[in-house]
Structure 1
Amino acid sequence: MDHVVWKMEVYQVMLGLSNKSPEDFADHTMCRLGKWYYEGEGQSKYTSFTAFKKLEKPHAEVHQNGLAALNANLAGDKKAAAHYLALMESASFVVVEQLSQLANQIAGEVTFVKDHAELF
């Protein structure tokens, strides 16, 4: 999942395993999940689902806090960097939770349609 890869790249920079700069990281509208959400299948098929609507804010927070952690790390503020990483992880948990909820909502709708198809 690209979401996890994005976070791992943040950690790699924090640990000195990567030379990427904050500018090298996609924002929440340009990563694959963001493109799916704003331009792709998500936007065209799932906007009516509650979980889809609840996905935008935490997804943006993952990116904002990951970038804030990188910037704090660059400034030498390890305490702030750790704080932002914790916020990134908290938002990430909500993203995964909402994606799971969305999958369940989609599956429920498909089952409902299938179960009622014989009525027509």
Structure 2
Amino acid sequence: MLELINRTNHESFIQSVILDHFVWKNKVYTSFMEANDHLTEEQICAHNHQECRLGKWYYDQEKSQKYSHLKAFQELEGPHIQFHEIASDTIRLCLKGDIYQALEKLADMEETSEQVFILLVELLQQMEQVLSQNVSLSTDQSIDDILF
């Protein structure tokens, strides 16, 4: 039962991160498409690779330590940082009215977005492998101990 709860918790978390990723990407596209609906500089700065849901988890050593050895976890940081940098650059170009360069950045954003998505799916698969290897949970361990 605890394994099922733990697996569901991880699945829900990764799905939330993926959804957040697509919501942020949609906001970038909205900034590009609608001149009067740009994000502010404060919003851009507040939503960086360390402040989004994934970043808060990724950089919290207590929460992410049991997965930091996984290949997808290790490969995720670079594309995740790039995605946020490119998204921010795109919005700033839109704010300056440089639509042609912003359009070029959107193509770069899509490429890194796909990398992030693939790595998140791989991370979930690798997390599930770790969970299935750790099926033998101590009877003293509470549900709170296994949830992040």
- TM-score, normalisation: structure 2: 0.70
Q: Shift of the alpha carbon at 1:74?
A: 1.9
Separation in 2 of the partners of 1:36 and 1:87?
25
Verify the 8 A CA contact 2:90 2:106 in the aligned structure 1. yes
1:4 equivalent to 2:25? Answer no
CA deviations over 1:53-111 (Å, ceiling 9, x no partner): 10101011111001111111222221210111111111110111111111111222233
TM-fit CA distance, 1:41? 6.3
Count of residue correspondences: 115
Alpha-carbon separation, structure 1, partners of 2:28 and 2:113: 13
Structure 1 residue 72 corresponds to structure 2 residue 93:
yes
TM-score by length of 1: 0.84
- Tell me which residue corresponds to 1:47: 68
Identity over aligned pairs, percent: 35
Alignment equivalent of 2:130, drawn from 81, 103, 109: 109
Structure 1 stretches of 4+ with a deviation exceeding 4 A read none
Aligned-residue Cα RMSD (Å) equals 1.8
In 2, Cα distance between the equivalents of 1:96 and 1:2?
Answer: 11
| Structure 1 spans left out of the alignment, 5+ residues | none
Determine the C-alpha separation between the residues in 2 that align with 1:77 and 1:90. 21
